[in-house]
Structure 1
C-alpha cells in the first residue's frame, strides 16, 4: 500500500520558517523604536537642562549661586530675588516688561495681519509683476535682520524717529517669512468658490477678506502671530541700535545692560537670572493658549 503526497501542500517546516522570519523582522523594528526613543529622550534632556538650571538658579541667593552647595535648601530665596528685582532701579524691570509686551504683542498682532493679508493677495489675485514681487519676498527671507538694522537707524534718524517706540515697533511689522506662510495658508484654507460666492452676494474685496477669508485663515494667522511674537520678544540688535533711553528698553536689552554691569557689581547676577526666568512666562502662556490653532496651522496643505 503506497501513499501519495499532495504536491500543492507546503512542507510541514514552512510555517515554522515563516514565523521565524516574522520574529526576525520584528526585532529590527523594536530596536529602531528603542534607538529613536533614546535619541528623543537625550534631545529633550538637552533642551530642558538649561531651563532646569535657570529655575534652580533663580531660587537661590547670590551667595549660593556661586558656592558649591548650590542645591542646599537653606540658600533658596525665590521671593527675596523677585522682591529685589522689582525694587532695582525704582521698578525699571516692570517698565522693560511693559515695553516688551507693547513691542511684541502689538507688533505681532498687526504684523501677522499684514503678512496674512499680503499672502492672501498673492494667493487669490492675479496682477502684473506678481511672480517678481513674490520672488523679492523670498529673497528678503534670506536677508539677516542685523544687516538691515544700521540702514533703518539712519532712516529713522533722518525723520527724527530714532530713540522712540516707533523706531522699534514699525520695522517689526513687516515680515517676509510671514508673507510666505500667509500665501501657503490662503492657498490651503480659502477656496476660490467661497470668495466667488461672497462677490456674487455683493461683498467688496475688503469685506470678502475680513468677513470670509480672515475667518478661514484663523489657524494661519495664529501661527504667524506666534512666530512673530517669539521673534520680536527675543529681538535684541534692533533695540540696541535704535534706543538710548533706558525707559524704552525691552527686556532683552535691559537684562543685557544688567549683565554687563554684573562683573563690577555681582549683585546683578541674581537679578539677571530671575529676570530671565520671568521673561519666559509670556511666551509659555501664548503657546499654551494658542497651541490648538498652531498645531492645525502647521499641518496646512498636508492632506488633500
Structure 2
C-alpha cells in the first residue's frame, strides 16, 4: 500500500513561522540584552550577546538596588499568583461543579451571565473594584489585589465543561446511597476527577495574576506591596532620568519570565494525562 504524503501548504506554514518569530524574538532580545553591561547595552549589536560578565554584574546590581526590593517584588508576585491561583481554581471548581451536576431554577441564566463576564475586559472593572474596596477599607492592602482575582468567569466555564465530561452522575448517586453528603462528594469525588482540568485553570490564572499590571497599579501605591509588573514599571520610570537602570529593568524582566516557563514545564505532564483520559472517554 502506497502512502501519499501531502506537502504542507506554504501559506499556513509561513503564518506559523511568523507567529513563532513574533513570540520568540522579544524573549531572545531580553536574554541577549541581559548579558550586556550598562555601556555595552547601547554600544553593541542588538542580538550579539556579551561574554564579559555583564549578566552577573547586572544580577548583583539588581539585588543591591534599594536594599534588594526586587526580590521583595518577586515574593509578592509569587504570593499573589500562588494564593490567587489556588483560591480562584477552587472557586471555579465549586461553581463549575454546581452548574454541571445540579439542576436549579435560573441555572441557564446564571451560566449565560458568567459567559458574558468572559467577554468583559478586566480593565473595565479595575476602577469600580477599587471604589468598592475603598468603601470597606481594603484598598491599598494585599487583599485589594487578591480579592478581585478570586472570581474567574473563564475558569468557571472550563470547570463546568470539564465536570460535565469527567464526573459521572452514577458515581455520585452511589455515594449518596452510601450516605455521603454533597460537600463530601464534591471534595472526595468531584475534585479528584477534575484535577487535570483544574491544573489548566490554575496555570491560566497563575499567569494572568503574574502578568497583571493595571489592578495592582490601581489598588496599591506602597512599593513594598508591588508585584514585579508594577515594580519593574516604577524602576523603568526612574530609568528615564538614569539610563543605567535600563540594564536592571531588562535583567529583572528576564528573571520574571523564568518562573512561568518552569511552572509550564512542570505541569505539562498533567495536560498529557488529561488528553489521554479524554481520548479514552471519547
- Please indicate, yes or no, whether the TM-score normalized by the shorter chain is above 0.5: yes
CA contact 1:185–1:300 (8 Å) conserved in 2: no
2: distance between equivalents of 1:139 and 1:65?
46
TM-score, structure 1 as length reference: 0.86
CA contact 1:223–1:297 (8 Å) conserved in 2: no
Corresponding residue pairs, total: 280
Aligned twin of 1:200: 177
**Is residue 2:43 matched to residue 1:57?**
no
Aligned twin of 1:162: 139
Q: 1:89 to 1:61 in 2, by over 3 A?
A: same
CA RMSD in angstroms comes to: 2.2
- Of 84, 91, 95, 2:72 maps to 95
CA contact 1:220–1:297 (8 Å) conserved in 2: yes
2: distance between equivalents of 1:296 and 1:132?
33
Aligned twin of 1:66: 42
Aligned twin of 2:187: 210
Report the CA distance between 1:76 and its aligned residue.
Answer: 4.2
Give the match's secondary structure for 1:213. helix
CA contact 2:196–2:274 (8 Å) conserved in 1: yes
Map residues 127-138 of structure 1 onto 2, 5 A cutoff: 127-138=104-115
2: distance between equivalents of 1:300 and 1:173?
28
CA contact 1:116–1:221 (8 Å) conserved in 2: yes
1: distance between equivalents of 2:188 and 2:50?
57
Report the CA distance between 1:87 and its aligned residue.
Answer: 0.4
CA contact 2:33–2:49 (8 Å) conserved in 1: no
CA contact 2:35–2:50 (8 Å) conserved in 1: no
Aligned twin of 1:3: none
Q: 1:72 to 1:201 in 2, by over 3 A?
A: closer
Report the CA distance between 1:255 and its aligned residue.
Answer: 0.3
Q: 1:139 to 1:35 in 2, by over 3 A?
A: closer
Give unpaired runs (5+ residues) of structure 1. Answer: 1-21
1: distance between equivalents of 2:160 and 2:278?
11
Map residues 1-304 of structure 1 onto 2, 5 A cutoff: 26=4, 29-30=6-7, 32=8, 36-69=12-45, 71=48, 73=50, 75-297=52-274, 304=282
Give unpaired runs (5+ residues) of structure 2. Answer: none
Report the CA distance between 1:297 and its aligned residue.
Answer: 4.2
2: distance between equivalents of 1:216 and 1:119?
13
Deviates more, 1:43-52 or 1:158-167: 43-52
2: distance between equivalents of 1:174 and 1:245?
25
1: distance between equivalents of 2:275 and 2:228?
29
Q: 1:117 to 1:299 in 2, by over 3 A?
A: farther
Moved over 2 A (4+): 32-46, 68-76, 294-304
CA contact 2:30–2:250 (8 Å) conserved in 1: yes
CA contact 2:35–2:49 (8 Å) conserved in 1: no
Report the CA distance between 1:39 and its aligned residue.
Answer: 4.3
